[in-house]
Structure 1
Amino acid sequence: MIRWIAFTVLGLAATAFAQPVIHVSAAISLREALEKTAVEFKSAEGCEIKFNFGASGVLAAQVEQGAEVDIFIGASHRHVDQLIQKGTVEKESKTVIARNELVLVTPAASTQIASFQDLAADTTGKVAIGEPRTVPAGEYAMQTFDGLTLSTAVAPKLIFGATVRQVLDYVVRGEVDAGVVYRTDAIVAGAAVRVAAVADESWHTPIEYPSVIVGSSQSKELSRKYITFLQSEAGQEILCKRGFATTRPTTHPATQPSTQATSPEPSTATPTTAPVTVPVSESPAP
């Protein structure tokens, strides 16, 4: 009896002093940066952060279906705004934490492609982009093709990745002639890819990462603290070191999908892990 009481007391004590946890679902392009911010935030707040990284559209669907998520950070306004419209997340908590650029990458040894326009050439084979319905990078890519009047010529060449990192993997492995990813993804791949071109910002809607607190969250105060940390000088420095551009909080309408952003079902191929932290030899200007 005494032993049972002792175990019960110890169990209650462990529960009382359990480390608080917040669950963050975020666009996979943020992975390396957010993992670093989690280390700093834990040191300051004594809070553990559990991440779920993936395609923004897939993560948004999980949030809508009731997954255990405190904060959702997408790579576009569209998926966040859809959750706001459905009342799943707190509208007033929407905050942009970073910006990015769209780049065209090729395998490191390839030199035949020097611009987005080169994708229409007969000499260019397969081109990888993210699945436009769920991967914002793919949607931005389609907007760029539309704006440059390349969609008809490029459409037969397109291979669709389930995430922007899968697109990057296709390029790293040389399975495609080119891929459209974010500047930060190219930095992660390092010397394994060559940045052939940077998309002009006028070719697509702004690439911003809005964060929002989920309405069912049981850790809203800690969630607000983490978002505030991401906006702080320390948080922004971490993001900048990994290639993101900082931005002040803004509110934008949902991203308009490309009129030609249709594709077959996303590929289920298992991506490999690309090299990490090696600088890009031809990094685009910020």
Structure 2
Amino acid sequence: MPELPEVETVRRTLNELVIGKQIDHVSVHLNRIIIKPEEVGEFCIQLAGQTILSVERRGKFLRFLLDDYALVSHLRMEGRYGLYDSSDPLELHTHVVFHFTDGSELRYKDVRQFGTMHLFPKGRELEEQPLKKLGLEPLEEAFDLAAFRARIAHRSTKIKPLLLNQEYIVGIGNIYVDESLHLARIHPEREANSLTSKELAALHEAIVKTLSEAVAAGGSSIKSFVNGQGEIGMFQHQFKMYGRKGEACYSCGHPIEKSVVAGRGTHYCPQCQPLKPARGKKIKPI
């Protein structure tokens, strides 16, 4: 699933491709992609004549800001956007097409068909689901150490699932949690309230550094991620942990282990990221 760096990369690409384009009409070929409004015909009617003013991001969601509406789009596992000419053949798994008045088209493709679109009167999208309960944005100024500490420091939850919880901090998916925890030298099963002030500061810095570098690299292309121009991300070439089970840790040379934490495959170095005995026993590798 695209995480914050991948969605941010798509956002930046779309801002280069579609800003100022006016929607002539919309074609929906798979109704279940459209969650709000319930009537797909109403979705199409409301978007006709609207101009795309900007494309923003909230967590892993894209926000298309139009004249009167905000379109909230989640790519889920395989969703992707691309700009085409109206004469280009419609490719398989193209589910929504935004036909622009200049003859170009923004097409949404989704092999897995898990993506969603919600349309709101502009300004209401942040007050309703799916955006209403989202947590701190880790690449904004408001994500300082004090805010980070206040959000997680006193919770008894294991640190990895807490960081994956979008109601606390948004956009940090499985890949970037593993990378950040290794950079901060924190075991994924440590309870959040067991972290020292020094460890919290190191983790805060690691999250910002990891996500910033991933955005600069255009995100990570593990399976099928491409941006709106069909380009793959390159951050996968900088992974220190994720997907490297059995390989030597770059920091200490110890083999990287993989286990399951809160139902998610988790890569860590037991040498660099020890699970302190006072807080529990070592997790069993897989």
State the TM-score, normalizing by the size of structure 2: 0.29
Give the TM-score, by structure 1 length: 0.29
* Relative contact order, higher structure (CA 8 A, sep 6+): 1
Name whichever structure is richer in helix by fraction.
1
